[in-house]
Chains A and B, each alone.
Chain A
Amino acid sequence: MRIRLMKPWLFIMPALLIYLTVIFVPSLYTLYLSFFNWNGVAPTKQFVGFRNYADLIFRDSVFLKALANNILWTIGSLTIIMGIGLMLALLLNKKIKGRIVFRGIFYFPFVLSGVIVATIWTWMYNPMQGFVNKLLESIGLENWALAWLAEPKIALYAVFVAAIWHGVGQPLVLFLAGLQTIPQDPYEAAVIDGAKPYQMFWNISLPLLRETFVIVVAITMVSSMKVYDIVYAMTGGGPAESTHVLASWMYFQTFKFANIGIGSAISMFLIFITMIVIIPYVYYTTKKSHV
């Protein structure tokens, strides 16, 4: 009897132990560290309560800039990346010739690492030899040529363009999968009733894509809060700290400036914001699956 009760735990144990070691216990310890002032090597940590959090909000202008950048990034992803993804999915949701090739082209950048995408686009933006400035020059707009990644007001948008190229494939594939689950009957009925294509999109496709929208919005928001690789590898948070996001600022505070407490507090903000997105999502999906 005892062995039978133990058995499931024997199967779960390896996953559980590694999960506790790598994710669960460390994140609790990070929560603990966020209440201390510590440089990572000193034998004693100084308890400071919520001061790290307060310092971030009231004294750290880069933190606020990074938070604003994350919000801007999220808005851009939810409108531009999701919008282009949906548009491409609608264009590809017909049995047309070369459909697989088109899908392959739009989706391919998504399987590249952020570092590769960043390196490719840093070259595209190269002030002297890069594609962007060369193209502007060749069509007579050389006044528009800029050092794209060196302008504090523009750099973040330049990085975001690279992120569009990188990320459009994900919503595209998800929307395409969603569109393919919609049955043909409502469209046929609508055609008989004389509906226009945009009416069919608005009144049939969009409502029936609600499930897919929930998924895409949740994934997009969470990955926008976590964005790191592409920013770090394109600008390193510069110029003049203008392109920092929470994840990159956390890295700098922790591993460059040895402000462990501050860095830990930033990660707690990250967890907190992510939870605000995920908890309603999990609640929504689990409630659905029981019905």
Chain B
Amino acid sequence: MIGMLRYALLTILAVVFLIPIVFIAFTSLKSNADLLTNPFYALPEKFEWGNYAKAWEQGRLSMYMKNTALIAFIKVPLGILIEAFAAYALTRMVFKGSNLMFAFFLVGMMVPMQATLVPLNIFLNNTGLVNTYPGIILVYIGFGVPFGILILRGFFRTIPKEIDEAALIDGCGDVGKFFRIILPLSMPAIATLFIFDFMATWNEFLLAQIFITSDSMRTITTGLLAFRGEHSTNYTLLNAGVLISVVPILLVYLAFQKYFVSGLAGSVKG
């Protein structure tokens, strides 16, 4: 009885949660005439796949996604490498003030991005990095450092110290130990961080909005907003564009759901 109730409740809620996605999918597959004349819950009279082709070309969505992918595929591995170096020193090399150093990095998690925008804007302008990918990647890496160090330090600490001694006897230096022992052993944590970081970079809006000013360099979040502005009255096309930008996330999500869940749960256990 309670089991039935549980299922009923979950099913109702799941349906409610799916409505927005189903609604945009329906709209995106209708013709404008169909949208205006037929009830909102009706299936499309004829599936207008052409909406997707149009949104793909006119909206320059493919370009925005390519830009975002380029940024994310450079930012994420580079950021993780830098964070892993620091986490290695914090856990494997005993030095005075290492705990203080860790706390200093954690302070960064308190700082809202807003509190850095004007100085960063001045800095990027003075160095000619505003509206460039190196500029935005630098900023993204910076904001990833505290969280990345938190996660990686937490994981590195669980790797037993005996391994270090064995490596030392085998004549492994710190660099060798880092690349040949610690990094390979940390692959589960690195994979989780990779997926998490990738999604955060893909979804980032505020920094992209301010530091990327030319349309041809936009990322998918600011690009989608521009697309929305241009097609604000062509609902079928607009919704095709929205769905196009949802699909890659859905695929990544379905492929790596395990990492999303364990990453979120693990990130706070530290």
Within 8 A of B (CB), among A167-185: 170, 173-174, 176-177
| A114-B17 CB under 8 A given contacts A19-B145, A266-B114 | no
- The answer, yes or no, to whether A140 is at the interface (CB within 8 Å) is no
Contact B261 A107 (CB under 8 A): yes
Contact B235 A129 (CB under 8 A): yes
Contact B23 A22 (CB under 8 A): no
* Chain B nearest Cβ from A134, distance in angstroms: 4
- The answer, yes or no, to whether B265 is at the interface (CB within 8 Å) is yes
Q: Chain A: which residue is nearest B19 at the CB level?
A: A131
Contact A115 B224 (CB under 8 A): yes
- The answer, yes or no, to whether B20 is at the interface (CB within 8 Å) is yes
Cβ of B14: which chain A residues have Cβ within 8 Å of it? 102, 105-106
Chain B interface residue count, CB cutoff 8 Å, equals: 89
Contact B106 A282 (CB under 8 A): yes
- Bound: A126/B239 CA distance, A: 12
State which of A14, A21, A96 has its C-beta within 8 Å of the C-beta of B6. Answer: A96
Within 8 A of B (CB), among A1-56: 5, 7-9, 11-12, 14-16, 18-19, 21-27, 29-30, 33, 40
- Bound: A254/B119 CA distance, A: 12
Cβ of B3: which chain A residues have Cβ within 8 Å of it? 96
Cβ of B10: which chain A residues have Cβ within 8 Å of it? 88, 91-92, 102
* Chain B nearest Cβ from A89, distance in angstroms: 11
Contact A174 B268 (CB under 8 A): yes
- The answer, yes or no, to whether A274 is at the interface (CB within 8 Å) is yes
* Per-position 1/0 for B201-219, Cβ under 8 A of A: 0111110001000000000
State which of B6, B105, B202 has its C-beta within 8 Å of the C-beta of A19. Answer: B105
| A112-B246 CB under 8 A given contacts A251-B114, A268-B115 | yes
Contact B82 A116 (CB under 8 A): no
Given contacts A116-B246, A116-B249, A266-B114, 11 further A-B contacts (CB under 8 A): A19-B145, A23-B108, A94-B6, A105-B14, A107-B261, A111-B260, A115-B205, A120-B242, A129-B36, A138-B41, A228-B205
- B residues near A (Cβ < 8 Å) are 2-3, 6-7, 9-10, 13-14, 17-21, 23-24, 27, 35-36, 39-41, 82-83, 85-86, 88-90, 93, 95, 98, 101, 105-120, 123, 138-139, 141-143, 145-146, 149, 174, 178, 199, 202-206, 210, 220-222, 224-225, 228, 235, 238-239, 242, 245-246, 249-250, 253-254, 257, 260-261, 264-265, 268, 270
